[in-house]
Structures are given as structure tokens and as C-alpha cells.
Amino acid sequence: MATTDTVVEHEVHDDKELWSGAKEPFKASYGKLMMWYFLLSDAFTFAGFLIAYGALRFSSPTWPVPDFVFKTHPFGSSELPLIFVTVMSFLLIISSVTMVRGVQEGHRNNTKGVVFWMLLTILGGIGFLSCQAWEWTNLIATEHMTVTRNPFGTHVESGVYLNDDGSESDEVFEAGASYLIHKAGGHGHGHGDDHGDDSHGGEAHSDDGHGDGHGAHATDPGDYKGHVIDNEGFLHRKYKVTEGPNEGMVKYESFGPKSFGALFFFITGFHGFHVFSGVVFLFIIMINAASGLYVERNNGHEMVEKIGLYWHFVDLVWVFVFLVFYLL
Amino acid sequence: MGHLSYEESIKKVYQGLILLGVVTLIEVGLSLFGKGYIIGGVEDYKAVIYLVGLGLIVLSLYKAYFIIYEFMHMRYEVKGLALSVLLPTLLLIWAIIAFFQEGGSWKDRRDQIQEKNAEPSDAQGMLPDDVYRLENFG
């Protein structure tokens, strides 16, 4: 019994120490611990979004193919699937690494080093945001995707496109092929220049071009021989089904699953907003570090460590956004 | 940190950069392979699509592990802290299974409705309650 008594006594002794303050649970400061728990809750928010994306994607008979949707980039006219978004990923990875370097210099109280590496981190974040701005502008202004409209469709049946006079063209496609619905008359401006004249310019349209080659069409809404123009001015090309139970039927291209636009803009937007707030906080903390505030606090630049945790989390979320939106 | 010297930890950071970069490049290559860009025709095999998907998920999880354990220094925290942050995320496994199942079920139901709508609707040989249903709901 003597051993038990000593144990109890020992525990009471320990309790007194616990309640006397100055003891950190998990050997982490309050700020760092709460940053971890904030990031945990934020992870659940993002997981909610990404799981919603998965559920809606699973519930859809077709889904836009990422290497078809994300093949544009600002470095020329050729199409490179996924390359631009890979560049974006590398920007975030590199800025994560410069952040780690900043935290390391902070531990050594090297103010100059902290400011230098944080500046590089901020530049990486701004670079990422700029890329995202270009990507969004391209999707909205050139490809006319919005929160409620998704012009990226997928064929569920094999078929052959019709010419402007209603005859079959030599453009055939298989089930699973992707298409992008354009605005009639090029980029959506210029209305009614070609009134009622839809029979000329029967050249083959490029299946995956971006708004070129459609300048010759009439832009009035209506049911034409080779296509349908809806009230918003979108040109849905007609095709004849060549396989399956609907063989011989003439159909026209429909919009892709509507939820794609909303999910894309909300999820990448929410992530982009995290990057933006990260850049703002990095900037504030960089100024504070430069002023010598954290040297005075003498806690190894803990504030830099905390914003570092946040910044790595932004990179971490991107790993999964990149996975579900672009890779799978 | 503690146990690593300054030079060692700097070296480790740049090794991490190379590791994450290489894994990302492998992911992009694997994704493009799965879509039939590198060897045409492979995208028609269901097994290839599943294997590529599985590979991508595993590589992404590895990246996540590396970022949390090295860059965010979770490796050097007390075990209780790591568990209190990481264990709750296990709930997400349940959420993922449940909601993906749900999504698949929505699709099945929608297909079923479409099939039923496509059936010829002649009134002959129908049960009385079918007629009732038709009269009431068009």
C-alpha cells in the first residue's frame, strides 16, 4: 500500500503545479495551439466543399474533363493540358519552402533573413493570385462559364455533326468526347450583322477551338438547319446520332452539368480568398518583423511561425483542390 | 526542431522542395497518362482509370503528410497535440464514403426516372392504381 500512497501524493503535488500557471498544454503556446485548431476547423470547411463536389460529380451522368477545360494558358496559342495549373502549384510549393526558411531565420532572431524570406513568400502568393485571376478571366470572358452556366459538355452518344445546310459533315465524334459551346458570332459582341444568312461559310468548326471560326453565323435566336441559337446567343451545334438506340436522331449540344461552374468558382474562390488573406497577414507580420517587434518579444519570432502554419495549410488545401479539380 | 543543426535543417528544406516538386510532376504525368495523352488508347480501360485515380490519391496524401509533418513541424510536436488535430479528420473518411454513396444513388434514381418516362405509356393492361396515378399526376 505504501507505493500507492506515494503515487497519490505525487499526483496531488503535480496538480498543484498544473494549477499554478505557466504550464503549456501540449508544450505549445496558446496562439500556436489555437492556430492548429483553427486550421482543423478550416480543413472541415474545405472538406465539406470538396465532398459536395464529389457527391455532385458522382450524381452526374457526365462531367467536364479537366484536361479539356484547363488547357489554356497565357504563353501562346498552343494548347497544353494542365500545364498552367501545374505552374500555379509550383508557385505555392516554392512559397511554402521560402516560408519555412523565414521561420528558421526567425528562430535565430535574424530579422533581415525573416524579412527577405517572407518577402519572397508574399511574391509567390501574389504570383499565384495573378495566375488565378487570369484563369478566371479566361473562363468567364472567353469561355462564358458562370456560377449558373457551364458551357463545357460531354457527348454521351457517338455521332456526326451537321453542316449549316443540314447535311452530314465529315466531323465525327465518339461518346465521351468533350465540346465547348460558344456564343454565336464570335465573342458575343456584334449582334445582327448577318441577319437571316446562315447558309454561307460551311467550313468545319473546330471541335475545341475557342470562339474562332463562328463569325459568319447569324446571331438571332432560332432553330437553324445546322445549329440552334438560344435566347442568350449560345450556338448549340446539331448532330446526328450514329450508334445506340437513338441512331439516326438529330440532336443538338446541350450545356454541361450546371453545378460545375458553381463548384469551381466557389471552391477555387474560397481557396483564393485564403491565399489573399494570407498575403495580407504575411505583409503585416513582415512589417512588424522589420520593426524589430518580435526580437523584443524574445520568443523566437513565434508570430512568424503562426502565419507560417496558416500559409502551409493554404498549400495543403491546394494539394486537394488540385487533385479533385484538375488531376482526377 | 531542437535536434537538428541549422545547416542540416536548411538542407532538409530544399530536399523537401525537390521531393514535392517531383511528386507533383509525377502526378501531372500520371493524370495525363490516364487521359490517354502519353500512350493513346489506355483511357478506354476501366482498370487503368481506377489505378491512375488510386495512384493520384495516394501521392496527394503523401504530399499532405509531408507538408504537415515537415513544413508544419508536426513531427516535433507533442504526441497529444498531433493526435488532437489528426484524429478528428478520420471523421472525414466516413463523410466521404457516405456522400459519395449518396451521389451515386441520386444518379441511379435519375436514370430510373428517365427510363420510366421513356417507356410507352399505353393505358392497356395497367393496374387500377396505375391509372389512378396517371389521372392525378399526369
pLDDT at A199 (0 to 100): 34
pLDDT at A102 (0 to 100): 95
Q: How many CA atoms within 13 Å lie on the side-chain side of A207?
A: 18
CB A176 within 8 A of CB A155: yes
**DSSP assignment letter at A63:** -
Residue of A59, A79, A99 best to disrupt the B interface, most CBs of B under 10 A: A59
pLDDT at A194 over 70: no
CB pairs under 8 A between A and B: 136
pLDDT at B56 over 50: yes
Q: State mean pLDDT over A86-90.
A: 94
Of A161, A189, A155, A130, nearest to A68 by C-alpha is: A155
Contact B103 A326 (CB under 8 A): no
Interacting residues of A273 by C-beta distance below 8 A, sequence separation 6+: none
Contact A40 B89 (CB under 8 A): yes
Contact A51 B96 (CB under 8 A): yes
Task: Look over chain A and give the mean of its residue pLDDT values, rounded to a whole number.
Answer: 84
- Ordered by where they begin, the domains of chain A are 32-148+260-327 (1.20.120.80), 151-255 (no CATH)
With a pLDDT cut of 90, the percent of chain A lying above it is 50
Specify the pairing of strand A227-229 against strand A152-154.
unpaired
Give contacts of B37 with chain A, Cβ < 8 Å.
67, 81
pLDDT at A187 over 50: no
- The cell for B29 is 504525368
Who wins on pLDDT, B92 or A3?
Answer: B92
Q: State mean pLDDT over B107-118.
A: 89
Contact B81 A36 (CB under 8 A): yes
A93 closest CB neighbour out of B24, B72, B80: B24
pLDDT at B131 (0 to 100): 53
Give dist(CA A289, CA A211) in Å, integer: 50
Give contacts of B103 with chain A, Cβ < 8 Å.
54-59
Who wins on pLDDT, B65 or A217?
Answer: B65
Helix pair A111-137, A259-290: axis angle to 10 deg? 160
A315 closest CB neighbour out of B37, B67, B100: B67
Contact B72 A315 (CB under 8 A): no
User: A116-155 pLDDT, tens per residue?
Assistant: 999 999 999 999 999 999 999 999 998 999 999 999 999 9
pLDDT at B2 (0 to 100): 54
pLDDT at A171 over 50: yes
pLDDT at A114 (0 to 100): 96
pLDDT at A78 (0 to 100): 74
What one-letter code names the amino acid at A85?
A: V
**How does residue A6 score in pLDDT terms, banded at 50, 70 and 90?**
very low
Give dist(CA A304, CA A315) in Å, integer: 16
Who wins on pLDDT, A82 or A119?
Answer: A119
**Which residue in B has a C-alpha nearest to residue A99's C-alpha?**
B71
* Lowest-confidence segment of A27-36, A188-197, A229-238, A279-288 by average pLDDT: A188-197
Q: State mean pLDDT over A198-212.
A: 38
